[in-house]
Structure 1
Amino acid sequence: MNITQALHKALRECPDALATADGDRRQSWRQLVSRVARLAGGLQGLGMRPGDRVAMLARNSDHYVEYLYGALWGGGVVNPVNIRWSAREIAYSLDDCDTRILFIDDTYQPLLPAIREHATGLETIVFVGDGELPDGAIPMEAVIDRSAAVADAHRHGDDLAAILYTGGTTGQPKGVMLSHGNCYLGAIGASLAAPRPPRQVGLHAAPLFHVAGMQSVFALSMRLGSHIVLPVFEPGQVLQAIEQHRIAEIFLVPTMLRMLLDHPGFASRDLSSLESIRYGASPMDVTLLERAMAALPGADFSQAYGMTELAPTVAVLPPRYHTAEGRKADKLRSAGVPTPVAEIRIVDPMDNELANHQVGEIVVRGPMVMQGYWNKPEQTAEALRGGWMHTGDAGYFDDDGFLYVVDRIKDMIVSGGENVYSAEVENTLLKLPQVELCAVFGVPDERWGERVHAAIKLRPDSELSESQLISHCKAHIANYKCPRSIEFVDEMPMSGAGKLLKFKMREAYWQNRERRVG
């Protein structure tokens, strides 16, 4: 079980097929493997030893694919850097796991002086760009051109493959350690749960530093598919790429899917090649999902549920439940069923298993569960207690074995002694066509302890009053779940992976006050 096995298969089975396309650049699997093997040799020449960490701070590109495989081929461990972080946060992640080699592109080159100032262990900068070479950096092309190809190190199984830092919403970011086996079996489990044909053309528009983007690269390569890479998600460019390259499959988070549907060019593009749309990383409201399925009737939809610590997918709602016949089973609100390699339980705060329909914490066991958090033994022991990964998500199983994720436990609102799950309120608000985005969270309230508060972003040229929103909620959910206060906003904070950063909005209300859940 090693991630680079896919490259050896491709070299034997389809060496001249398209491996990557990025703008005007195209390369076959033969060309890609040659560059990967020489990049691996170059990294070894720069001092990379087996198990050493190698970072990349860059937008998506074919070079990002080469970096992932080149570091692994040479025996290293990848440390993809969150592109939304400040220089200090980036430096922390580099020093925390003793990363000494950093790949950086033109876009993030301006951060380099500050990163160098704060990252005490950083030694080598490899420049992945076409602009002016930073002082003391080495061009990636020079590293490849001057190096001989080396044999695959064939690290595998429990050997460390990646360290992916969490967003750091509570305290310092944690480095999630994923082995070759974690990544390999995570991809296998997701593929078995929602099979897709081999040698398809896939589009990478979600950020590759994120676990879902990285695993999309690994999973598509395992099926010998072709990687079409866009630097960032921009809806017009995504639509153009689907038409131009006859894209068959894509991974999108819900906000990305909404932006595609809202784009003025959506109806004029030929999207008939799309066969598979996988969505996940944040909750998808059913209203948006129904709209997407109606707009793209030729595509199979499947949902993936998981997290970085689970490499990342442990439950899938397969395409058959997104069809007209399958929707009669009324499972669209679910996260699906556990993948063949994952065990999932629902437990109470004492880790006792709960019966169906009882809400508790989702815990997971299986070969895709992380090895732990880098240099954080206490937090590792807490997360993996009893041999199960404690996700921090609240959910339940129905009688058919389908998992429902109701909220992050920390996002649950306790108002007047009643538990309110923000996702349920958000789904209700998103039924209104005027609402583009919403975030529901608890804010301090002298009478109720917490009250349900909603931040609303309306669609352009739309109007809704606070009373209209509250009346709509009262028609669909219990009174105690309805927002008691509403604010209208022009923008909402989003992560580099397209997730809504609700904690940033909540922080303003809870500064210098203690918030307790449960």
Structure 2
Amino acid sequence: MGSAGTVAELVQRQWGDHRPGLRHEDRVLSHHQVAVGAAARAALLVDLLPAGSEPHLGVLLDNTPEFPLWLSAAALAGAAVAGINPTRRGAELARDIVYTECRVLVTERAHLPLLDGLDLPGVRLLVTDTDAYAELLAGYAGAEPGDAVLGEVRSATRMLLYFTSGSTGAPKAAICTQGRLAAAGQSLVDHFGVRRDDVHYVCMPMFHGNAVIADWAPALAGGAAVALRRRFSASGFLDDVRAYGATYFTYVGRAVQYLLATPERPDDRDHPLRLGFGTEAGAVDAARFRERFGVRLVEGYGSSEGGAAIQRTPDTPAGAIGRATVRDDLAVVDPETGEERAAAVFDEGGRLVNGADAIGELVNRGRTPFEGYWRNAEADAARVRGGWYWTGDLFFRDLDGFLYFAGRTDDRLRVDSENLAAAMIENILARWGDAAAVAVYAVPDPVAGDQVMAALALREGAVFDPDAFAAFLAGQPDLGTKMAPRFVRIVPAMPVTATNKVHRVALRRVGFRSADPVWWNGVGGGAYGPLGGEELAGLLAEYEAHGRTALLSPISPMV
């Protein structure tokens, strides 16, 4: 079976294949039934989209069968799916839907409260778990793949609009075409040897590129089955894997930590799983995972934008992501000058000792598959400068060319593998009545990715009240679930540069090791307490245990 040029071709290949293709709880659909369902939804979509409108639909769903069915339907119809993040709230959620010009929004009853009171002009709502939806869809039961299209379906046809945040503030929608998604799926089939009898377990949210590009697409390209978990559950993970016969899954670092935190069982290795593919697990946790569960975790690097990718080879050292397929394409450079950074130097324990000289921004100086952002020329220009693709990600590179992930640049934060923009969090925190000035920035997580830190300068006469601050955060309807600061530093005055801009470099350099009062909420989601000597020592021990101390700036504690 040759490679397909479009996702639509991959969906059409399912026609007549009566092997199990999609599993969710007690429901099993064959590959053929998936294709039949996709064809019916494609025909419905073609009828629902107004003439002259952009061929876009929003999908606001948990991981239920409707999500991959609508992805397949969009591919057949030549439409694009905007994955809508249910952790967004209020006007920001409405903005995501309207900005991507979705004239149809597919959702479920559980998410209807998120849409209450939102201004969504011209958006047709389809609620999948209702009798009205079932009756509407029944009218298209006889459709076949190719019956209903919005235009010629080609490799350059838009397929995905996936949100990613950056220093410009509001989330941008990265474009992924059918050709790029089909190629990404086939690449992983070839790299991991995906077989037709494999089962890909999708437990990461499908509104995110991780689940669609790295899990669903290779299953589709390789003829494997897909098993869905509505939402990730560490306690239910192994039971699902066994029940579905899952052989492959994708992850983000935090999910691996949650799995390792579950109580050990004698049957932890009694399962068919052979491989996990994802990001930011960390070398320490990856080794622990393999020792406990007998499953190899393969770290990858890529983004919804698709502007740069790193290939893992069998000789990749522990802790590294891999190296560029073409040596000179990817470089680690000074974000200001564009000059290449020094090669990484490690101590006998394998820890980076010259982070200040070695860490820089990863750029792609060669041909890039980046396909741009939806209606955002300014963001396109910021991403591709001087003929280079600037990833916005920090890396360092060893003498053999292997690349190691080190964090995010400027006010980009990546928390639990979700990209956040500091400016948006700052806008929310600025509502707090006691705040005179606010700055939000990333500090490295002890294991992987970033944590959110905020510096607050208080109004004259105000005293920081941690309980009042926590209550304020809880009352903000647009504060997403990943946005609450883990650390809060109370500064007497906000540090600024000579041009009167907030001196973020100085704030990041000090991080949470400050002579100013620093408060933190421990594991997140609770009350704030002082980050004192004992708490700080325990936190720094976590960085040491995971080999990430070098990512903290080389300053004396409590500066």
Tell whether the 8 Å contact from 1:361 to 1:391 is kept in structure 2 after alignment: yes
- Deviation at residue 184 of structure 1 after TM alignment: 2.3
Aligned to 2:209: 211
Take 2:489 and 2:402, find their aligned partners in 1: how far apart are those partners?
28
SS at match of 2:310: strand
The Cα RMSD (Å) is 3.8
User: Is 1:139 aligned to residue 133 of structure 2?
Assistant: yes
- Deviation at residue 371 of structure 1 after TM alignment: 1.7
1:181 partner amino acid: G
Alignment of 1:348-387 (within 5 A): 348=334, 349-354=336-341, 356-357=343-344, 358-364=358-364, 369-387=369-387
User: Is 1:284 aligned to residue 286 of structure 2?
Assistant: no
- TM norm structure 1: 0.75
User: Is 1:294 aligned to residue 291 of structure 2?
Assistant: yes
- Deviation at residue 397 of structure 1 after TM alignment: 2.3
- TM norm structure 2: 0.70
Aligned to 2:309: 314
Aligned to 1:68: 71
1:6 partner amino acid: L
- Deviation at residue 158 of structure 1 after TM alignment: 1.8
- Deviation at residue 390 of structure 1 after TM alignment: 1.1
Aligned pair in 2 of structure 1 residues 342, 263: CA closer, same or farther (>3 Å)? Answer: farther
- Deviation at residue 181 of structure 1 after TM alignment: 2.2
Q: Could you list the runs of 5+ residues in structure 2 that have no partner in the other structure?
A: 345-357, 414-440, 452-484, 496-504, 514-519, 525-531
Query: What's the CA shift string for 1:471-492, capped at 9, x where partnerless?
Result: 7479985796368469xxxxxx
Query: What's the CA shift string for 1:413-451, capped at 9, x where partnerless?
Result: 9xxxxxx99548657999xxxxxxx97899868899432
Take 2:450 and 2:556, find their aligned partners in 1: how far apart are those partners?
10
Take 2:102 and 2:394, find their aligned partners in 1: how far apart are those partners?
35
Query: What's the CA shift string for 1:387-417, capped at 9, x where partnerless?
Result: 432111111322222111212122699xxxx
Quote the sequence identity (%). Answer: 18
User: Is 1:5 aligned to residue 9 of structure 2?
Assistant: yes
SS at match of 2:162: strand
Take 1:37 and 1:474, find their aligned partners in 2: how far apart are those partners?
53
Aligned pair in 2 of structure 1 residues 221, 445: CA closer, same or farther (>3 Å)? Answer: farther
Aligned pair in 2 of structure 1 residues 366, 96: CA closer, same or farther (>3 Å)? Answer: farther
Aligned to 1:514: none
Take 1:99 and 1:60, find their aligned partners in 2: how far apart are those partners?
20
Aligned to 2:21: 19
SS at match of 2:263: coil
Take 1:35 and 1:267, find their aligned partners in 2: how far apart are those partners?
41
Take 1:204 and 1:423, find their aligned partners in 2: how far apart are those partners?
27
- Deviation at residue 188 of structure 1 after TM alignment: 3.5
SS at match of 1:453: coil
Provide the aligned length of Structure 1 versus Structure 2: 446
Tell whether the 8 Å contact from 1:286 to 1:333 is kept in structure 2 after alignment: yes
Aligned partner of 1:81 among 75, 79, 84: 84
SS at match of 1:228: strand
Query: What's the CA shift string for 1:44-64, capped at 9, x where partnerless?
Result: 121366951011111101111
Aligned pair in 2 of structure 1 residues 368, 145: CA closer, same or farther (>3 Å)? Answer: farther
Tell whether the 8 Å contact from 1:74 to 1:150 is kept in structure 2 after alignment: no
Aligned to 1:325: none
1:226 partner amino acid: A
Alignment of 1:89-168 (within 5 A): 89-115=92-118, 118-122=119-123, 124-130=124-130, 138-140=132-134, 142-146=136-140, 148-152=142-146, 153=149, 155-167=153-165
- Deviation at residue 469 of structure 1 after TM alignment: 3.2
Q: Could you list the runs of 5+ residues in structure 1 that have no partner in the other structure?
A: 322-328, 414-419, 431-437, 487-518
Query: What's the CA shift string for 1:224-279, capped at 9, x where partnerless?
Result: 11111110001122221111122101111111112122223754456430111112
Take 2:449 and 2:156, find their aligned partners in 1: how far apart are those partners?
44
2:10 partner amino acid: A
- Deviation at residue 356 of structure 1 after TM alignment: 4.0
Query: What's the CA shift string for 1:21-73, capped at 9, x where partnerless?
Result: 11221111111111111111111121366951011111101111101111221
Tell whether the 8 Å contact from 2:235 to 2:262 is kept in structure 1 after alignment: yes
SS at match of 1:165: strand
Aligned to 1:452: 511
Aligned partner of 2:534 among 451, 460, 465: 465
Aligned to 2:401: 401
Take 1:412 and 1:156, find their aligned partners in 2: how far apart are those partners?
34
Aligned to 1:30: 32
